[in-house]
A and B are shown apart, each in its own frame.
Chain A
């Protein structure tokens, strides 16, 4: 071990020395390794020796000679080491104080290190294994349909890819990919996975090398037909193949097809996005499943396109180039698409080309973490100032004995750097915990492969610690250089109220202000969250389970009558199974739906007799879903007028429809919608009679403008499909899900996988920004509050200790204990009130920045502002009263003893 240590050391030594002594030095170190007893103490001495030698040796060499000259002067490094030892001894003398300071700083430094660890991946380095990620862009298309909002998407058809690949000059390479859910394996062992469908050019474009085997080629991904070859992700390789070298060449079943493993992606590779991808397969496998004419279709858009910009090409130039190529090459019939504008954005952008929620959240987290560090610094600086007062005389004596002021200042700076170093060491633990928690809770969609504390985080923490050390040490050190010797040396000298306590009060007020700021943030987010929870969505999301089944491919059955019969059976299967599902214990109601809130959304051609066109709202035309009897009871949507569907409404019976309230008011304003006729679908459909009006529901977002919707009985739908089973239950945690799975697979042998989640689970991602905001601000706000309370406590304590004399004189002159208490309490509350005032003023002026993040909550919500202000004052009063008790014990007699 010692030999290795010195091997590292040699690299830092001057070359001449290394050439002359290097080999010898290592031989000796090896001998030490072999012969000398080991132990922590010895190892430590060796480490210190190795760390110090480069400096001392250089100092020797600067003096150009040996003992004769170096004896004559003090090497600065040695005195630095001496000061460092002295500082360390000082801290060791006050373990409680040291521990408190280090802990405070650990919270600040740790929070920042944790945030850096996340920012590093999301903002700085981009997806793992992507070479020069700044030059890789994703393409977006913005269309402006008449009368509607402009719409930006990253979904493209294969045609656009072909156009760009052959026509666009701005890119070195263009590639496509799509990441979809899939099912791995069959039967009981089946599990959901993420499948990446890619063009062969994706891997060379990103610049990634396979860990084993190879990626697929264009020959394996021809438009005529793609081979079933797969590159599996590192995680999948470990979990399914036990990291076996024999995995290459083996086969596995995915989405009911057999694939051959040809390669293994490097650890951490997630393609152009950050989420886990289990398997990469040729993209045309997916294309063939979308539609038969996919290679030339303009209306099928399932691909994302990425490109690597040529050197020197800007994002704007690339966007214009792509737009030109698209408009020249577009042959589809949609005006909006023909005039669409193409643009490029960094891989960090989300599906509509703007900053993703993760990154917005991250910005807030980073800001909040920085504030926490600032509070911690203010608090520690405050404590150091207070302590500096106690040590004022020691410093003055050192100065009087001839230590230069610079030297004294350096000693104080060294102390604070030591504090910060201790804080950083503890902070790494905090970073590990907080970073791990943040990854799990806030950034769970991202595949994290490195530890929350890696080398870069470590280095960053060291930087944070150095900066912190200098920041907290600066004030006491500057003060020391200006210290008034004679005043400090006088016996009985007391702090004269003056500048020092004003500075400390200012620091305390600043802490209070920042904690008010953070707590108001927390309050606003909590209020938003509360508003969201009490929203009437028109459904009961937490009581409804959405069950989806995956089946064996229909392609196994020869085309013709047998296949048609099977297709029909599958369409009818869920409706037929409803009675069996309802019979399961714990099931309140069950139904089948094709299209549902926070699920699939369909729209078909709709005409209303008597109207030239169905009125369109800003949110577009009405959407449709086909539902079985019992649907409205299952999801909790009220039927306001008329009746709900019954089992007698089905394929072949009279076409009927139930419309939403908004749709009824929009299409038949002031009229009774019941009995009206709507024509649903292409061609000449029969009249569907409106039999009911249902309450409005949110269709896909918590924050959306109301849209028109109507329902038809399951079985009467044409042109759309994809049924899900909806189950209403009061007991989500029970064994129900397992029983549903068992029932469905027993009823139908072709079912390969049954997936289920609550509607709430589909809404949760949308609530995440508010949940996040609430938890981040609440956590850091409480932390800040504690730190601020400690700040007030310590300032008041010192104030009392300092004014003991004054208090005893006042008592001697006849003041009552109550007067004294009031005096002290007023001091604390004035600071707190100032903090509240400043904090709320800042919060109010920052309001417009948080407003877009809040949900129907004013950024100046009076309830939140008043509540937080009150909270801080109460805490401040408590923090003041604790030391105030000490003031009460001051005796008048002290004034006489001490002399005036």
Chain B
């Protein structure tokens, strides 16, 4: 199903998904680690709830954007059972595409704010 997927099919990413992908792109994390990272990364604006988090993780796994991985060597081994997640190669593509898309929007917004007219180069 995901043999030749086009990253554009997944854009725009829901805000929750985007923040989760950003968190995992930095380092492999487990569930609670993701919640904490997202909170920090969004400057406290996005507070993921447990149910919503796992619902989103299931979707990202099903779409092949993330995968399970081994516990990173540096992580505190407080619980053996914890599962860690990291983006797949395709997931990173989607994330890059999404960030690029958002950058264009931000650029456009800035130009507008400065009263300039965008030009095609």
A-B contact pairs, 27 of them (CB 8 A): A2-B50, A9-B51, A24-B30, A25-B31, A27-B32, A32-B35, A35-B36, A45-B47, A45-B49, A46-B49, A49-B51, A50-B49, A50-B51, A56-B52, A57-B55, A60-B58, A65-B59, A66-B59, A66-B60, A66-B61, A66-B63, A66-B65, A67-B10, A67-B59, A67-B60, A70-B59, A71-B10
For chain A, residues 278 to 310, give those with C-beta under 8 angstroms from any C-beta of chain B. Answer: none
Given A67-B14, A67-B65: A49 and B35 interface contact (C-beta under 8 Å): no
Q: Inside 8 A of B13's CB, which chain A residues have their CB?
A: 67
Indicate with 1 or 0, residue by residue over A21-32, a CB within 8 angstroms of chain B CB atoms.
101110111011
Q: Which of B17, B47, B65, B82 contacts A24 (CB 8 A)?
A: B82
Interface SS of chain B: helix, strand, loop or mixed? helix
| Cα(A497)–Cα(B58), bound, Å | 57
Q: Is B46 an interface residue (CB 8 A)?
A: no
Within the complex, the shortest CB–CB distance from B74 to chain A, in Å, comes to 19
Contact, CB under 8 Å: B52 / A67: no
Contact, CB under 8 Å: B58 / A17: yes
| Cα(A2)–Cα(B59), bound, Å | 23
Contact, CB under 8 Å: A71 / B14: yes
Interface SS of chain A: helix, strand, loop or mixed? helix
| Cα(A48)–Cα(B51), bound, Å | 10
| Cα(A31)–Cα(B39), bound, Å | 15
Q: Closest residue to B60 on the A side, CB-wise?
A: A66
Given A32-B35, A71-B10: A25 and B63 interface contact (C-beta under 8 Å): no
Q: Is B41 an interface residue (CB 8 A)?
A: no
Contact, CB under 8 Å: B31 / A67: no
Q: Inside 8 A of A45's CB, which chain B residues have their CB?
A: 47, 49
Q: Is A52 an interface residue (CB 8 A)?
A: yes
Contact, CB under 8 Å: B14 / A49: no
Contact, CB under 8 Å: A68 / B31: no
Q: Inside 8 A of A20's CB, which chain B residues have their CB?
A: 58
Contact, CB under 8 Å: B63 / A27: no
Q: How many contacting A-B pairs (Cβ < 8 A)?
A: 92
Given A23-B81, A24-B83, A35-B32: A49 and B52 interface contact (C-beta under 8 Å): yes
Within the complex, the shortest CB–CB distance from B87 to chain A, in Å, comes to 13
| Cα(A49)–Cα(B30), bound, Å | 20
| Cα(A66)–Cα(B79), bound, Å | 29
Q: Which of A9, A21, A32 contacts B32 (CB 8 A)?
A: A32
Q: Which of A6, A48, A57, A68 contacts B63 (CB 8 A)?
A: A68
Q: Is A314 an interface residue (CB 8 A)?
A: no
- For chain B, the count of residues having a C-beta within 8 Å of the partner chain is 33
Q: Is A53 an interface residue (CB 8 A)?
A: yes
Given A21-B58, A32-B32: A68 and B9 interface contact (C-beta under 8 Å): yes
Q: Closest residue to B79 on the A side, CB-wise?
A: A27
Contact, CB under 8 Å: B35 / A28: yes
Contact, CB under 8 Å: A25 / B50: yes
Contact, CB under 8 Å: A25 / B62: no
| Cα(A806)–Cα(B61), bound, Å | 68
Q: Inside 8 A of A32's CB, which chain B residues have their CB?
A: 32, 35, 50
Q: Closest residue to B53 on the A side, CB-wise?
A: A28
| Cα(A434)–Cα(B68), bound, Å | 58
Contact, CB under 8 Å: B50 / A66: no
Q: Inside 8 A of A50's CB, which chain B residues have their CB?
A: 49-51
Q: Which of B10, B50, B59, B63 contacts A49 (CB 8 A)?
A: B50
Q: Is B22 an interface residue (CB 8 A)?
A: no
Q: Which are the 10 A-B pairs with shortest beta-carbon distances?
A: A53-B51, A49-B49, A66-B63, A66-B59, A28-B31, A31-B32, A66-B62, A49-B51, A28-B32, A21-B54
For chain A, residues 44 to 77, give those with C-beta under 8 angstroms from any C-beta of chain B. Answer: 45-46, 48-50, 52-53, 56-57, 60, 65-68, 70-71
